[in-house]
């Protein structure tokens, strides 16, 4: 099965590399061409457009930022649809919304292209190690066909149901991710002001009932003042916005998620959207008069 991969950012570069390592014939495309260099060095062909990727693949995976970006690579100038051929499958692995997933599926069907929404969780480290959790919406038979490709990138593959279901599960996941970060950041800001030893706080949080991936992976980064992105703050803002929209449509109040969204709104407004989600601690330091 020939695989085409569009979007070699933090996640996509690692995911595509795992597909290559598992021996699938691969072709890659990235808007900023320099990011394709590690692939070119390994002899992986580099396409000049999403259209060329589609022409030379059986399955096209995109891992770009948000829904308008997916729309651009699929339907824009030299987009995937212009390289359509019978049997082509598109898998959108970026995080957006169930509505967009249904919209992409419908428009792609007009070109005879099958579509799955398959967002991921597990962070940049999970992408590098090939241990992502992948949530898939779309036709089950299409899912079964591409499962070996998904297994090259992830350890836990969940068939979620109809198209859009993958994105729904992912948005639920992001509620927990966002509120976890908020909790850890609040504890760390208060600890700092109260002159509590941060190593001791880490020992307590990471061994007891408060333990989480956020504590394990992001707290040590914050302790070192490392705010570089594994997962960009602007991307979490995007996800929380879609989660609040989904909740509003269903009449479910999510005050915690809405609060977290506003804090990430503030972070992005301060110009920190390209920093990691853990940069929320910087906002709390500022609010409480703590010098970095």
Give the active site residues.
170
Nearest distance, CB of residue 127 and ligand NAP, angstroms: 7
Q: By CB neighbour count within 10 A (0-12 exposed, 13-18 middle, 19+ buried), where does 179 fall?
A: middle
Residues 6+ apart with CB under 8 A from 288: 189, 193
Smallest separation, CB 1 to ligand NAP (Å): 22
* Residue placing its CB nearer to ligand NAP in the complex, 122 or 138: 122
User: Least separation, in Å, of the C-beta of 225 and ligand NAP?
Assistant: 20
CB nearer to ligand NAP: give 69 or 162: 69
Q: For residues 113 and 80, what is the distance between their CA atoms, to the nearest angstrom? A: 10
Distance CA 54, CA 85 (A): 8
Question: What is the C-alpha to C-alpha distance for residues 224 and 143, in angstroms, rounded to an integer?
Answer: 42
CB of 95 to ligand NAP, least distance (A): 4
Residues 6+ apart with CB under 8 A from 58: 1, 2, 3, 87, 88, 89
- Closer CB to ligand NAP, 11 or 136, in the complex: 11
Residue nearer to ligand NAP on the CB measure, 32 or 195? 32
d(CA 17, CA 39): 8
* Residues found near ligand NAP in the complex (CB under 6 A): 7-12, 30-32, 35, 63-65, 69, 72-73, 94-95, 120-121, 123-124, 230-232, 235
């Amino acid at each position: 099965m020939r695989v085409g991969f569009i979007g070699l950012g933090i996640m996509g570069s690692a995911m595509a590399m795992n597909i290559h390592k598992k021996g699938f014939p691969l072709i890659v495309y990235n808007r900023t061409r320099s990011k394709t260099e590690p692939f070119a060095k390994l002899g992986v062909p580099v396409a000049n457009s999403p259209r060329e990727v589609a022409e030379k693949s059986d399955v096209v995976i995109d891992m770009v930022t948000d829904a308008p970006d997916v729309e651009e690579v699929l339907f824009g100038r030299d987009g995937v649809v212009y390289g359509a051929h019978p049997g082509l499958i598109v898998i959108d692995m970026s995080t957006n919304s169930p509505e967009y997933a249904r919209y992409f599926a419908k428009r792609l069907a007009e070109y005879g292209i099958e579509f799955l929404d398959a967002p991921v969780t597990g962070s940049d480290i999970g992408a590098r190690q090939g241990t992502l959790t992948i949530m898939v919406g779309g036709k089950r038979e299409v899912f079964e066909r591409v499962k070996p490709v998904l297994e090259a990138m992830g350890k836990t593959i969940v068939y979620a149901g109809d198209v859009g279901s993958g994105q729904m599960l992912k948005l639920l996941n992001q509620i927990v991710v966002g509120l976890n970060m908020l909790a850890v950041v609040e504890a760390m800001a208060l600890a700092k002001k109260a002159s509590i030893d941060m190593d001791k706080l880490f020992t307590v949080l990471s061994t007891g009932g408060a333990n989480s991936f956020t504590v394990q992976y992001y707290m040590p980064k914050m302790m070192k003042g490392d705010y570089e992105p594994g997962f960009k703050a602007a991307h979490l803002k995007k996800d929380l916005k879609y989660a609040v929209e989904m909740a509003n449509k269903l009449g479910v109040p999510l005050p915690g998620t809405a609060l977290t969204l506003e804090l990430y709104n503030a972070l992005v407004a301060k110009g920190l959207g390209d920093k990691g989600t853990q940069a929320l601690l910087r906002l709390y330091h500022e609010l409480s008069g703590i010098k970095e």
